[in-house]
Structure 1
Amino acid sequence: MPRCNRCGKESIIHDKSQGEIFCKSCGLVIDEKIADLNHDSVSFEDRKDNRRAGTPMSMSVYDFGLSTMISVINKDAKGNSISPSTNATLRRMRILDQRSQLHKHIDVNYKIAFDVLQRIQDKISVSNHVKELAAYIYRKAVERKITQGRSINAVVAASMYAACRNTQTLRTLKDISDATDIKPKKISQSYRALVKQLDLKIPVVNQVQCLSKISNNLGVSEKTKYLAMEILQKAADLRILAGRDPIGISAAILYYACLIKKETFTQTQVAEASRVTVVTVRNRFKEIRKIIRIDLTK
């Protein structure tokens, strides 16, 4: 089993849902944005190799990827070039084919929504697993008519945020907001509607992993990181983590530890490393320091 380059322990974990390889002991992210090369294993014939052709079914395609389309390659079956007149006919047929596939209003809705979803995935760099879950949540939202009275973009953004929370993929509302140019407040409103009306079970975020990732992004010392873990444990014992944004709390705790260990990281730097606002770091820090008093002169 491979060892961690930082702590030397054999505790390397491959998190397929987040597309990351990290050390469980020290939290070092060794590799991320790993492509998911898996395919579906459905076989319609009685054979052992399960070979297949074409793309697998996808929740993030308006028709689940089951429709056919006229190829854009202007060659015949033998590889010979097609004449200009035939090419013009095929071009018109492609346009008619595309229009005929979007004959339902709901198909148009899904087509617009999943194009937005793809752009969000490209900008915030999450795995296909997260995108597929977001597409599933959005489809359920359409079925329950949660999208009525709300913009498609806002509900798609909220679905992606819910998928990130569900898979414990560390992306903030600000990440989603920056990727969609939608205010965090609007995304948050749609997110709360999804959680309530779809009865989504959002797991508690692993605060230790969250804190470790921010520490690695910021580049703090091991002593500061260890102290931050101690403060985090105190905060958990005092039950001041409930109902708080886990990333904002982790960022504030890390900033507190940096002050104690006299590491010259500003609130702005901590906010950038954790992808939250400076105001969030400042407010959470004030709350934590008021409850957990540590002498900064030591």
Structure 2
Amino acid sequence: MSQRAIYGRSFDETDGQTLPAETTCPECDGALRTEGGETSCSVCGLIIDEYRIDHQGGVGGYVDDEETERTGPPLTFGRHDRGLSTTIGWNRDAKGNTLPAAKRRRLNRQRTQNRRAKWRSKAERNLGHACFEIARLVSALELPTVVRESASKTYRTAQQADLITGRSIESMAAGAVYAACRCGGFAVSASAVADVSVSSTDHVQHAYSVLNVELSLETPVIQPGSLIPKLATGCDCSPQVQHRALELATQAVDAGLANGRNPAGVAAGCLYTAVSEHDGVTTQAEIAAAAEVSVETVRSRYQELQDRV
């Protein structure tokens, strides 16, 4: 790092004169360093001066046809109007002062007209209802905002492709959330989405199938190893058991045991094998219930792992 002050001259906002910069510390005669607009001694740490006014301005380099606006919130697919609608306040202004009665009555009339003109068509009204349902599902499942954006974008594409006609908005919204989880690599099952939705598991899976086939979603294959942490947490297994189950899941994929089989069943078999090796007390029924598979499936995957891994 350079020991020379990068602000060799400081601006005087009163008369435009410049002041010479200090070169040594006035207390210990140590060298000065300037970082982030703050000049301090490199020996004793005494702050000599700080100057945080950037006279350069913003970064330029815009192309003529490039969008240069910087105001307003970013656009989002999570709202039907992408976040460009107007919101009218109630009883206070921007400074927190109480509005007079005449202005409150005028705002009430404007708010009514704004609410009536909020939806330009029935399709836009349905889209607003679907965006609200998607936001509710994502919040109930405690998923990140990227899932909400992806699910809302998928639903918009499905509406433009005329896939919503004749189908329930709630089920298609739940299917879009499940599709976003599958495409984003989040270990969320269709039954977990159905638990927080008004639609059943079959309706969620059917909606996801429609979206996946008609829109050609880039859905990656679920690997058994991605389901191990969720199963281990649900069965209250130790970190050693979870680590061993991940190793078994990798070996099962390499040996071809996961081909054509339910990833949840393979993950359940790996977890039960790891529990057996560490003398755990978790039963096959508990693991099967957490993985939403049958006990026979867990037992079959366990036997295959014993024979080939």
What secondary structure, in the 3-state scheme, does the structure 1 residue paired with 2:282 have? coil
Match of 1:288 in 2: 301
- Structure 1 counterpart of 2:164, which letter? T
Report how far residue 217 of structure 1 moved.
4.9
Match of 1:21 in 2: none
Deviation string, structure 1 residues 197-228 (Cα, Å, up to 9, x no partner) = 10111113353343244334544235533442
Identity %: 25
Match of 2:75 in 1: 57
2:221 to 182, 191, 204: 204
1:250 to 267, 278, 291: 267
Distance in 2 of aligned mates of 1:246 and 1:281 = 13
Deviation string, structure 1 residues 76-113 (Cα, Å, up to 9, x no partner) = 46654222243133123212202201121111011110
Q: How many residues get paired?
A: 245
Conservation of the 8 A alpha-carbon contact between 1:252 and 1:282: no
Specify whether residues 268 and 132 from structure 1 end up closer, same or farther in structure 2 by C-alpha distance, changes over 3 A only: farther
Matches within 5 A, 1:112-191: 112-191=129-208
Distance in 2 of aligned mates of 1:235 and 1:212 = 16
Specify whether residues 254 and 77 from structure 1 end up closer, same or farther in structure 2 by C-alpha distance, changes over 3 A only: closer
Report how far residue 290 of structure 1 moved.
4.7
Distance in 1 of aligned mates of 2:100 and 2:239 = 68
- Structure 1 counterpart of 2:254, which letter? D
Match of 2:36 in 1: none
Distance in 2 of aligned mates of 1:283 and 1:90 = 65
TM-score (normalizing by structure 1): 0.72
Conservation of the 8 A alpha-carbon contact between 1:249 and 1:281: no
Specify every segment of 5 or more residues in structure 1 that has no aligned partner in the other structure, as ranges.
Answer: 1-45
Matches within 5 A, 1:19-34: none
Specify whether residues 140 and 283 from structure 1 end up closer, same or farther in structure 2 by C-alpha distance, changes over 3 A only: farther
TM-score (normalizing by structure 2): 0.69
Conservation of the 8 A alpha-carbon contact between 2:265 and 2:301: no
Greater gyration radius: 2
Conservation of the 8 A alpha-carbon contact between 1:134 and 1:160: yes
Conservation of the 8 A alpha-carbon contact between 2:131 and 2:152: yes
Match of 2:237 in 1: 220
For CA contacts below 8 A with separation 6 or more, give which structure has more relative contact order: 1
- Let me know the Cα RMSD of the aligned residues: 2.9
Specify every segment of 5 or more residues in structure 2 that has no aligned partner in the other structure, as ranges.
Answer: 1-56, 61-67
Match of 2:87 in 1: 69
Once the two structures are overlaid, the 10-residue window that deviates more, 137-146 or 262-271, is 262-271
What secondary structure, in the 3-state scheme, does the structure 2 residue paired with 1:208 have? helix
Conservation of the 8 A alpha-carbon contact between 2:288 and 2:295: no
Match of 2:59 in 1: 48
